[in-house]
């Protein structure tokens, strides 16, 4: 579906959907916990549906216990041969694949046309080193299969994506023996800290250094049933944070935990440096941008928050001066090459922008004109371009917007509610 959006003033109060990353971790841990767990306020989107179906394929019983909760009866160790289609969900594929290797039965993983371009070689090599039987016709990409039981031992893994390390951390407590992981490269550290947060709540025994470069995991542990409430998603909220920054308007976003380990929380620090006022009150935060066109440019390391690249690239176009977004090469291996895609799209709207190998340089002019751009079947690109339309001088047409269903099905509804008619 194509959509035409016009410039608008905004304001008001909105609530943000729950965290995708927390929801998927909760579902998988509940699946591998023998007994009944309750997940309150989970995100319901295409990605989490993919995870729910993956968990069911592994043997879990999942049903709604009420309008706002999921009841999960886990199986601890799956005992069936199965094929899992992860759709567009890379998080589900990486994490579930490693955890499925606790089973002695073969599990095959595949996905949609974007997911099968996501690299898996580093994770599969580590799983093999830990005693898992791996089969992959394409070597570096899905589809592939894993068959355990995972034995444990020692492995070294370069984590171009944090999901490799999170996958091993979730799987290795179920290994037959103890394990040591050496991590010479780690991108997106906060997502690993989120995984460690869940493991701590499960009282999983492990040791690690401050750089997360050496991690020791005790084997022969198990997950326990739990009840947990999923908080708001900072990745989703970032689009509305930046809407306030671009338009110079106050906007209040509810339902966010200021202590949550989500890495995209750091976008508030960046917006403050660009000239925004940030005010917290309990679980609500109000962002007020400066006058339109007067945000300040800056240089920002996005390694810990790669999903923020599209919306921060948009925001930088409405700043004065040069903004450099760097140290985020992993943005090239998401649903799209987001560095190239955002450069192409923003050029179409009148930006002065150029690519770096690991980011973007945006020469902010304080405005964009408008025009026609592409969604590229990438939910974060679509949402970023929709927010760009608020500050443009003319309308913006986005070709293909269906992919917002992946993580934020209510995005356009919420966007409409904050526009002043």
pLDDT higher than 90, residue 178? yes
Q: Which residues contact 247 (CB under 8 A, 6 or more apart)?
A: 8, 9, 10, 289, 292, 390, 391
Strands 295-296 vs 319-326: parallel, antiparallel or unpaired: parallel
For the stretch 241-257, pLDDT in tens is: 999 999 999 999 999 99
pLDDT higher than 70, residue 421? no
| Region 254-281 average pLDDT | 96
Active-site annotation, residues: 307
pLDDT higher than 80, residue 53? yes
Two tokens, residue 277: 């006022």
pLDDT higher than 90, residue 404? yes
Cα–Cα nearest to 166, from 226, 257, 99, 95: 95
For the chain, what is the mean pLDDT?
A: 96
pLDDT higher than 80, residue 139? no
Q: What angle do CA 325, 326, 328 make, to 5 degrees?
A: 115
What Cα–Cα distance (Å) separates residue 394 from each residue in 150, 229, 368?
57, 42, 8
Task: Give the residue with greater pLDDT, 168 vs 137.
Answer: 168
For the stretch 90-138, pLDDT in tens is: 999 999 999 999 999 999 999 999 999 999 999 999 999 999 999 997 7
pLDDT higher than 90, residue 182? yes
Three-state DSSP at 108 gives strand
pLDDT at position 392: 96
Q: What percent of the chain has pLDDT over 90?
A: 96
Q: At what angle do helices 90-100 and 46-57 cross, to 10 degrees?
A: 20
pLDDT at position 420: 84
Contact call for residues 181 and 98 (beta carbons, < 8 A) = no
pLDDT higher than 70, residue 348? yes
Domains and CATH numbers, the chain: 3-17+234-418 (3.65.10.10), 20-217 (3.65.10.10)
| Model confidence band, residue 315 (pLDDT cutoffs 50, 70, 90) | very high
Residue with tokens 């879990």: 60
pLDDT at position 66: 84
Residue with tokens 């216990």: 65
What Cα–Cα distance (Å) separates residue 152 from each residue in 87, 131, 175, 196?
29, 7, 5, 19
Of 132-141, 253-262, 369-378, least confident by mean pLDDT is 132-141
Two tokens, residue 62: 């999942």
**Alpha-carbon distance 215 to 74, whole Å?**
27
For the stretch 35-46, pLDDT in tens is: 999 999 999 999
Contact call for residues 345 and 351 (beta carbons, < 8 A) = no
For the stretch 7-33, pLDDT in tens is: 999 999 999 999 999 999 999 999 999
């Amino acid at each position: 579906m194509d959509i035409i959006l016009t410039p608008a003033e905004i304001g008001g109060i909105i609530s943000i959907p729950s965290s995708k990353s927390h929801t998927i971790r909760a579902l998988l841990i509940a699946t591998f916990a023998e007994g009944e767990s309750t997940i309150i306020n989970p995100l319901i989107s295409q990605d989490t549906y993919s995870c729910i179906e993956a968990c069911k394929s592994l043997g879990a019983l999942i049903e709604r216990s009420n309008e706002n909760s999921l009841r999960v009866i886990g199986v601890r160790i799956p005992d069936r041969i199965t094929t899992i289609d992860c759709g567009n969900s890379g998080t589900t594929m990486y994490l579930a694949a490693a955890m499925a290797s606790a089973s002695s039965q073969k599990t095959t993983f595949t996905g949609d046309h974007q997911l099968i371009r996501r690299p898996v070689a580093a994770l599969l090599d580590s799983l093999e080193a830990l005693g898992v039987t791996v089969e992959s016709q394409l070597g570096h990409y899905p589809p592939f299969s894993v068959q355990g039981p995972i034995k444990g031992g020692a492995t070294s893994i370069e984590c171009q994506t944090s999901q490799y390390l999170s996958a091993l951390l979730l799987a290795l407590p179920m290994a037959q023996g103890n394990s040591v992981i050496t991590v010479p490269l780690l991108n997106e550290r906060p997502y690993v800290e989120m995984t460690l947060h869940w493991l701590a709540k499960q009282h999983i025994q492990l040791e690690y250094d401050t750089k997360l470069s050496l991690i020791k995991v005790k084997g022969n542990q198990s997950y326990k049933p739990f009840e947990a409430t999923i908080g708001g998603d900072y990745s989703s909220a970032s689009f509305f944070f930046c809407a306030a920054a671009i338009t110079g308007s106050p906007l209040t976003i509810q339902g966010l935990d200021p202590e949550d380990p989500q890495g995209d929380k750091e976008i508030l620090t960046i917006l403050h440096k660009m000239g925004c006022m940030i005010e917290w009150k309990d679980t609500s935060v109000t962002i007020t941008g400066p006058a339109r066109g007067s945000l300040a440019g800056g240089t920002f390391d996005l390694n810990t928050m790669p999903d923020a690249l599209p919306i921060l690239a948009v925001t930088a176009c409405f700043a004065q001066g040069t903004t450099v977004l760097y140290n985020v090469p992993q943005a090239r291996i998401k649903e799209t090459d987001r560095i190239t895609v955002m450069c192409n799209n923003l050029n179409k709207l009148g930006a002065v922008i150029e690519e770096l190998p690991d980011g973007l340089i945006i020469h902010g002019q304080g405005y964009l004109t408008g025009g026609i751009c592409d969604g590229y079947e990438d939910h974060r690109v679509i949402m970023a371009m929709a927010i760009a339309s608020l500050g443009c001088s003319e309308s913006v047409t986005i070709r293909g917007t269906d992919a917002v269903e992946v993580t934020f099905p209510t995005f356009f509804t919420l966007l409409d509610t904050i526009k002043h008619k």
